[in-house]
């Protein structure tokens, strides 16, 4: 057997007992109505698991099927529709939780493996590479999901909430969506973002965050550009779109600017930016370092709470996402 296949098999072995099937039901008027199924994965020894918010949305009863075929009723700990993440908890003990990796140092071209339950085929595996990092997509509510990993590892309905792993068997993302009508354009929420969301959902049952209104793409900075603006950043965040009436729009940020720093802290990934946009930043002046026309520019921006009605969502992008439950 070739070494690539051996590495792939070894990675899957490390995480397979943590991958689960999520079944969502709604009990009302004396009847239990099935709403759909998706995927998830256990990440702690006491039974906490990740899935997508759209998998469990509108449900009030949840059943989890483990690798060995056993079933458990699950408790909803919390959901965050803005990042399409949810946390459930079960009482199972016979499993090995998935090891959560670090998405900060991912590289384009790195092998990515998706595991889930597409179309009811439990524990199906697909493999590909990381195609891009720091992507932003519109979610079903009209908001923006940031820090997404783009991969060509095939995802299908039912893959939602399953893990995207590397060759070491570490979870690097939570699978969430594809672009409708496209091939090889699949997306996962970066695991560093997911860790931050899980921490807040487990502690508080909800998430509060500061909002800027930017669509971003992580890029490498060429040496000439770094020299022109005198920055030590190896990477920056290319601003592909600014939402109308958003804090970024009001601050004068433009499509095509490159984000370098926030309050003089280098921003080389969407994960790094997400970590800085906590509740404490809402309504407080922040200073954003940018590259515009090969020159360094600093603008003042005042984040608002994400979901604030004063910020109106932009018109939907013509490329529609397709959730995978």
Active site residue 160: yes
Residue 185 dihedral angles phi and psi, to the nearest 5°: -115, 85
CATH topology (fold) of 210-305? Pdz3 Domain (2.30.42)
CATH topology (fold) of 16-89? Thrombin, subunit H (2.40.10)
Q: Exactly one of 80, 84, 257, 271 is catalytic; which is it?
A: 84
- The secondary structure of residue 314, as a DSSP letter, is P
CB-based contacts of 315: which residues, under 8 Å, 6+ apart?
Answer: none
Which residue in the block uniquely carries the two structure tokens 């075929």? 69
**DSSP sequence for 97-119:** PPEE--GGG--TT-EEEEEE-GG
Q: What is the pLDDT of residue 41?
A: 98
Q: What is the pLDDT of residue 113?
A: 97
**DSSP sequence for 187-247:** EEEEHHHHHHHHHHHHHHSS---EE--EEEEEEEPPHHHHHHHT---SEEEEEEEE-TTSH
204: left (phi over 0), alpha (psi -120 to 50) or beta: alpha
Q: Exactly one of 160, 190, 261, 270 is catalytic; which is it?
A: 160
Contact 242, 258 (CB under 8 A): no
CB-based contacts of 137: which residues, under 8 Å, 6+ apart?
Answer: 144, 145, 148, 177, 187, 321
Summarize pLDDT for 81-120 with one digit per residue, the tens: 888 999 999 999 889 999 999 998 899 999 999 999 987 7
Residue 181: both structure tokens together = 């009508």
CB-based contacts of 33: which residues, under 8 Å, 6+ apart?
Answer: 25, 26, 27
Active site residue 123: no
CB atoms within 10 A of CB 286: 18
CA distance to 41, 103, 207, 212, per residue, from 291 (Å): 40, 25, 31, 17
Round to whole Å and give the CA distance between 133 and 148.
Answer: 6
Active site residue 84: yes
Run of H or E including 22: strand 19-28
CB atoms within 10 A of CB 23: 21
CB-based contacts of 206: which residues, under 8 Å, 6+ apart?
Answer: 78, 80, 200
Residue 58: both structure tokens together = 């509108």
Q: What is the pLDDT of residue 24?
A: 97
What does the domain layout of the chain look like in residue ranges? 16-89, 210-305
Query: pTM for the full model?
Result: 0.78
Below-70 pLDDT ranges, the chain = 140-143, 307-325
Contact 187, 176 (CB under 8 A): yes
């Amino acid at each position: 057997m070739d070494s690539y296949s051996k590495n792939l098999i070894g990675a899957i072995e490390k995480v397979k007992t943590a991958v689960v099937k999520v079944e969502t039901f709604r009990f009302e008027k004396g009847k239990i109505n099935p709403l759909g199924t998706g995927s998830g994965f256990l990440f702690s020894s006491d039974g906490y698991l990740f899935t997508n918010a759209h998998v469990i949305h509108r449900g009030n009863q949840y059943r989890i099927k483990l690798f060995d075929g056993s079933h458990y009723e699950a408790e909803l700990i919390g959901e965050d529709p803005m990042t399409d993440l949810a946390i459930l908890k079960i009482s199972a003990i016979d499993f090995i939780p998935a090891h959560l990796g670090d998405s900060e140092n991912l590289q384009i071209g790195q092998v990515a493996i998706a595991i889930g339950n597409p179309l009811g085929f439990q524990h199906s595996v697909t493999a590909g590479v990381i195609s891009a990092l720091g992507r932003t997509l519109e979610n079903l509510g009209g908001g923006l999901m940031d820090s997404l990993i783009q991969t060509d590892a095939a995802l299908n309905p039912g893959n939602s909430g399953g893990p995207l792993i590397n060759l070491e068997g570490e979870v690097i993302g939570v699978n969430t969506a594809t672009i409708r009508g496209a091939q090889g354009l699949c997306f996962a929420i970066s695991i560093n973002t997911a860790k931050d969301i899980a921490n807040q959902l487990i502690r508080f049952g909800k998430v509060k965050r500061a909002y800027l209104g930017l669509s971003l793409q992580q890029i490498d900075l060429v040496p000439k550009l770094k020299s022109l603006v005198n920055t030590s950043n190896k990477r920056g965040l290319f601003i592909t779109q600014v939402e109308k009436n958003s804090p970024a729009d009001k601050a004068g940020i433009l499509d095509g600017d490159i984000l370098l720093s926030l309050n003089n802290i280098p921003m080389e990934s969407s994960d790094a930016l997400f970590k800085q946009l906590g509740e404490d930043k809402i309504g407080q002046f922040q200073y954003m370092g940018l590259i515009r026309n090969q020159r360094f520019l600093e603008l003042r921006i005042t984040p608002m709470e994400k979901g604030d009605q004063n910020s109106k969502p932009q018109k939907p992008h013509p490329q529609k996402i397709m959730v995978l439950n």
